[in-house]
Amino acid sequence: MSEAIIRLENVNKWYGQFHVLRDLNLDVAKGERIVICGPSGSGKSTMIRCINRLEEHQQGRIVVDGTELTNDLRHIEAIRRDVGMVFQHFNLFPHLTVLENLTLGPIWVLKKSKAEAEATAMKYLERVRIPDQARKYPGQLSGGQQQRVAIARSLCMSPKIMLFDEPTSALDPEMVKEVLDVMVSLAEESGMTMLCVTHEMGFARKVADRVIFMDRGEIIEQNTPDAFFDNPRHERTQLFLQQILH
C-alpha cells in the first residue's frame, strides 16, 4: 500500500460530546476517484475537510502525499498547496475579478509571475468553458458559473488531489449538469486523485473507482459503483439508496 497518496488511520474527531468521526481507516491510491455519500450529519464533509486541515482530527493519523498532518503550520500549508478544494458555496473572493481569483494562489503561494499565472488561469477558464467571464466579478455570474470558476481556481494551483465538498448541492437544478460535466471531463482527462462528497449518483457511476457510504461517523460500506448500487450489502446502505433514488 505504499501507493496511497492519502492515508487515514484510526481517525477520530469530536465536536464537544458529539463523535463525528469514528475510527476511520481509508487508503486512497494515486489517481483514484472516490465518491463519498451518506445521510446528512454522517461526517462525510468533515472527513474530507480533515484531509486539508480545515478541520482538525483529534486522534489517529492522516498522511497526505507522505506528509503527516500535525499542528506544524508549514506542513499544513505545504499540503494545502497540493490539495485543491471545491466548496458547496463556492467561496470565491467577491472583491476580486474572476481572473484575480484564479491568479491569487499561483502568484502569492507558488510565486509565479503575473503573466504566467494569467496564462494558466485562461487555460483553465477555457477548460471550464467560461473564458469570456474573466474580467467579471463573481457576483455577476450564475451559481453554476461561479462553481466552475471555483474548480478552475483550484486547478490553477496544479494540485495532486482535488476535494469536492458537495459541489452541486447549492446550485439550481438547471446548473448542476454544467458543473458535473466539468468534473467528469476533469476525471476522465487528467487522472487526478479526486474525493467527492456528492449525492449525484449518475456522476458516481460514471467516474468513480470506488463509492464510500458513511453513516454516523463510520465508513459502513465501500465498493465499486456498480456493485455498490446494484448489490448494497449493508442494511443502512440499502435504506439510504432507496431514499435518494426514489
Residue 104 binds another protein, judged by CB under 8 A: yes
Sheet holding 4-15, edge to edge: 18-29, 4-15, 59-64, 67-68
Site for another protein in 119-138 (CB under 8 A): 137-138
Which residue, 91, 67, 62, 87, is CA-closest to 77? Answer: 67
The binder of another protein chosen from 43, 84, 143, 217 (CB under 8 A): 84
The binder of another protein chosen from 89, 114, 135, 234 (CB under 8 A): 89
The binder of another protein chosen from 28, 47, 83, 201 (CB under 8 A): 83
Residue 4 binds another protein, judged by CB under 8 A: no
Residue 112 binds another protein, judged by CB under 8 A: no
Stretch binding another protein (CB under 8 A), from 8-16, 93-101, 121-129, 191-199 = 93-101
Site for another protein in 163-192 (CB under 8 A): none
Residue 193 bridge partners (DSSP): 161
With CB under 8 A, what is the number of residues at the site for another protein? 29
CB of 158 vs another protein, minimal distance in Å: 12
Residue 211 binds another protein, judged by CB under 8 A: no
Q: Where are the beta strands (DSSP E) in 16-112?
A: 18-29, 33-37, 59-64, 67-68, 83-86
Judged by DSSP in three states, 91 sits in coil
Residue 244 binds another protein, judged by CB under 8 A: no
Element counts in the chain: helices (H) and strands (E):
9, 10
Exposure of 23 in the CB half-sphere (CA atoms within 13 A): 1
Nearer to another protein, 43 or 105 (CB): 105
Q: Is 16 exposed, middle or buried (0-12, 13-18, 19+ CB in 10 A)?
A: exposed
Nearer to another protein, 14 or 93 (CB): 93
Residue 6: how many other CB atoms lie within 10 Å: 23
For cell 484575480, name the residue.
100
The binder of another protein chosen from 29, 54, 122, 227 (CB under 8 A): 54
Residues forming the site for another protein (CB under 8 A): 52-54, 77-78, 80-81, 83-85, 87, 89-95, 104-105, 108-109, 137-140, 153-154, 157
